[in-house]
Amino acid sequence: MSRAVTDLLSILDLEQLEVNLFRGQSPKSGWQRVFGGQVIGQALVAATRTVEGRHPHSLHCYFMLPGDPKVPIIYEVDRIRDGKSFTTRRVLAIQHGQAIFAMSASFHVEEDGFSHQAEMPKVPGPDELPSEEEVKGGLILKMPEPMRTYYERERPLEIRPVELNRYMSRDPGEPRFHVWIKTTGRLPDVPAIHQSVLAYASDMTLLDTSLIPHGRTVFEPEIQPASLDHAMWFHRPFRADEWLLYAQDTPSAGGARGLSRGLIFTQDGTLIASVAQEGLIRERRR
């Protein structure tokens, strides 16, 4: 297991302070604020720790304040309801005495029922795309500085964008983006870990998709980006340490906010999760 994956699992392994109270740490990465996916993943871990025999099928989140990476985050779980089929939890993330994030999550017993799914887009597979070594070997020189920094450091997730050229041009593009993702090391055989890792990863690249029709990216200093809300639905079992296609699109942007959606598929075309997010994409004025 890579050191970056070990660090990610350590971040998601919360310290229990009381029956419904947990404490999470942030990586010492030098970020000015906490990565939104980290808070989503940690909040899901906190909620899951209070539920037995059921897996999450949906979560709905609001980001209220930027997180401070220099201090721990306290997660307070409210056990809203334990029903015969469904369990509901509400999680509040707190720093400096203020709520910075809120999440509602629902858990469901396993049941048989009707089944259908959307078809996976026909895009090149991960083995047909440049590997990280190939990106670092030449393509990285054509990318903006924040992207180069991202690829140069050790990370827990390997990302292979299908439309990689969008980071090398400011030409407006079609309102969709496809990226293959997986962890850089094998994860334990615990479904809750894979769900929390995917929740962590689901916040990556999604907001940026809402800028594709405008030929811009969240990596530009003129853009002020921030996740505002985030929703996720788990449909079927999966492993986050195997390649997953994150197929994203953006149906609307306006009022300095962008809306993006995502469908997540296994390599064999099974739809395992859906995501929706609205975020701030404010253009800074001089």
Q: Which of 190, 214, 221, 210 is nearest to 257 (CA)?
A: 210
Active site residue 171: no
CB atoms within 10 A of CB 117: 14
Q: Which residues, in sequence order, are bridge partners of residue 73?
A: 24
CA 273 to chain centre: 12
Our answer to whether residue 227 is catalytic in this structure is yes
Residues 36/203, Cβ–Cβ less than 8 Å: yes
**CA angle 158-164-168, nearest 5°?**
125
Q: What is the DSSP letter of 203?
A: T
Rounded CA-CA distance 22/41 in Å is 13
Q: What is the dihedral of CA 74, 80, 84, 86, to 10 degrees?
A: -60
Query: Which candidate in 38, 106, 195, 203 is catalytic?
Result: 203
Q: How far from chain centre, in Å, is Cα 92?
A: 18
From CA 194, how far away is CA 182, in angstroms rounded? 10
**Residue 215 near residue 171 (C-beta atoms within 8 A):** yes
> Which one of 38, 95, 202, 277 is the catalytic residue?
277
Active-site position among 227, 248, 260, 274 = 227
Note if 277 is an active site residue.
Answer: yes
Q: How remote is the C-alpha of 189 from its chain's centroid?
A: 20
**Could you tell me the sign of the dihedral formed by the alpha carbons of 170, 162, 12, 91, in that order?**
positive
Enumerate the active-site residues.
Answer: 203, 227, 277
